[in-house]
Amino acid sequence: MKIYPYKRLSRPITLRVTSVSLRLPDGTRDPLDTSAYSVQEQAVALGVAGHTDWVSATIGISATLPPGVDAPDAAWSDLRVLAVLTDGETNVRTSTTLTRDAEGSRDWSGTLELFRDDHMGRASLSAYAVGTVDSVPGRSITETDRNWVVDTVSDEPVRGLRLDVRKASFGKSSREWLRAYADAPWLVDTTARVPTVYVNTDTDGILGLLDSNGSGVESKVRDLLVAQMATDVWTAVFHGAIGDLEVEPGGSPVFPTDWQGEVLREMLPDVVPGVHVEEALRRVHRRRTGESGWGELQTRIHYAAVRRADATKAVGYVIRGLERTNRESES
């Protein structure tokens, strides 16, 4: 939890996306339907319309401030509400000022335009209320506690982890670094823009097993294999995210704005249960960079990965299936 040397609101801003449209190369606009954004997922998918050559996107935004923002004894004046889009991959930040819907209303709305050439994948949309406090303008009064994800490529508005799965012969790959892992069935690369899983086609039978749609023992083994791969993926992306944090001057780690931030917010409640994710991030960062505690935390990280991979469900499915097969063979 951050400490501010002035009074603020304790409750966050509620942010909603209300419309999305694309500007095409010929200057026309294509208003997207509600399938382009999800209030539940708090995500926007700009690829839903199938346009690959759009120039810019205009996002309609509505923000509701918490009670007390206009209290007569409020410690701030000159209240303004800003919507901010941040892209951690391209270091582009776009902001727009929202307008109060009606006098005395806590609802503010407006639009934000983003340009396709400024973004490679996902960006984070947030809102801030700022004002003059103790004669200092532009101080943050409150902000969103969960940002929206704006995906410039995806055709489905989901904020979960996106993976790129590629097949490659590790022993003969043009990617020389893969050759050192010729005996591994798969690897996870967390240095790419999107986490990438490489499946080694040199491993006998792995492609046929992963691509099979059959039933019986084969399907059970396939589900168990996928669960193991998913566990490895979640473990790898967590370590990749926690190992590449920006740190504020005071030493506090900052949540990333891309897939790494999504991974951390998803897994931290299981890694450090019972505390807010901001505090959980600080504790994990202290253990990783401190003298002790990082090794002990690996069990919690693995547990969080196992839960995300539904490994327990897969193992149970295999065990029940094998027991049923054994009973049938004995009868």
Taking only the tens place, the pLDDT of each residue in 104-139 is 899 999 999 999 999 988 889 999 999 999 999 999
pLDDT for residue 158 is more than 90: no
5: exposed, middle or buried (Cβ count in 10 Å: 0-12, 13-18, 19+): exposed
Average pLDDT, the chain: 88
Q: How far is CA 313 from CA 220, 229, 264, 272, 306, in A?
A: 11, 14, 23, 23, 10
Confidence at residue 87, expressed as pLDDT on a 0 to 100 scale: 86
Confidence at residue 242, expressed as pLDDT on a 0 to 100 scale: 94
Confidence at residue 216, expressed as pLDDT on a 0 to 100 scale: 67
Cα 151 from chain centroid (whole Å): 10
pLDDT for residue 140 is more than 80: yes
Residue ranges with strand state E in 222-288: 246-247, 253-254
Over the stretch 279-294, which tens digit does the pLDDT of each residue have?
899 999 999 998 788 9
Percent of the chain exceeding pLDDT 70 equals: 96
Confidence at residue 163, expressed as pLDDT on a 0 to 100 scale: 74
Confidence at residue 316, expressed as pLDDT on a 0 to 100 scale: 82
Give the pLDDT band (50/70/90) at residue 60.
Answer: very high
Confidence at residue 99, expressed as pLDDT on a 0 to 100 scale: 97
CA atoms within 13 A on the CB side of 56: 10
Q: How far is CA 265 from CA 32, 136, 317, in A?
A: 29, 33, 29
Average pLDDT over residues 189-206: 87
